[in-house]
Amino acid sequence: GEDVEQSLFLSVREGDSSVINCTYTDSSSTYLYWYKQEPGAGLQLLTYIFSNMDMKQDQRLTVLLNKKDKHLSLRIADTQTGDSAIYFCAETRLGSQGNLIFGKGTKLSVKP
Amino acid sequence: DGGITQSPKYLFRKEGQNVTLSCEQNLNHDAMYWYRQDPGQGLRLIYYSQIVNDFQKGDIAEGYSVSREKKESFPLTVTSAQKNPTAFYLCASSIRQGRRYSNQPQHFGDGTRLSIL
């Protein structure tokens, strides 16, 4: 299977919460990242979490990490149409010199 | 403002031609990276450099070459040996990573879209 897996699509209504999920396989994962990509643009770092933490909150964003199940989620509260984008989960591993391993991305569509 | 500049935004390659994609950063970062993105795919690492005058192959280096003569610059050449070059190319940089723990997040440019004529 893939090293980092994400569901490909998510559709929510404006004002609702969005939850984007990610699973990874390698137990040597050290840091886990969430990036946002708008059409035709590069990747914008949203947040990241060290693998021995279980939660991190930053304004509307909440990251939850279940290390036992190797499951990461990104919750966006009060989702806005400007949040429509592709969200990538990525990990780095021990001794990897910072090389990121990406999932295929989840396309979030926000309906007014 | 500090950032990463990739140029050109769009590039067209003729068959048998080498083309070079530019990546410049003024963030004073030691490490720089090149990724390739295909539709519906995650990013795959082509080459990376942790320090000037040194670089390593990533997962898909065949058909590509790089140089790192200056800290600010990490150009990528797509050679004629790369038979399927059409993709979106992203450059990133970060503070130099530790030997074991890679906790320095990478920051990305806006990308170059390469197509074949």
Is a pLDDT exceeding 90 seen at residue B69? yes
CA distance B20 to chain A (A): 19
Of B102, B108, B110, the CB nearest to A97: B102
B100 pLDDT higher than 90: no
Taking an 8 Å cut-off on Cβ atoms, the answer to whether B33 and A99 are in contact is yes
Whether residue A45 and residue B107 make contact (CB cut-off 8 A), yes or no, is yes
Q: Are B21 and B113 in contact (CB under 8 A)?
A: no
Give pLDDT tens digits for B26-47.
999 999 999 999 987 789 999 9
Q: For residues A3 and A102, is the Cβ–Cβ distance under 8 A? A: no
Are A94 and B104 an interchain contact pair (Cβ–Cβ within 8 Å)?
no
User: Interface of chain B against chain A, CB under 8 Å?
Assistant: 4, 6, 31, 33, 40-45, 48, 50, 56, 58, 90, 92, 94, 97, 99-111, 113
Provide, rounded to the nearest whole percent, the portion of chain B with pLDDT above 90. 75
pLDDT for the residue numbered A65: 94
- Output the pLDDT for position B1: 62
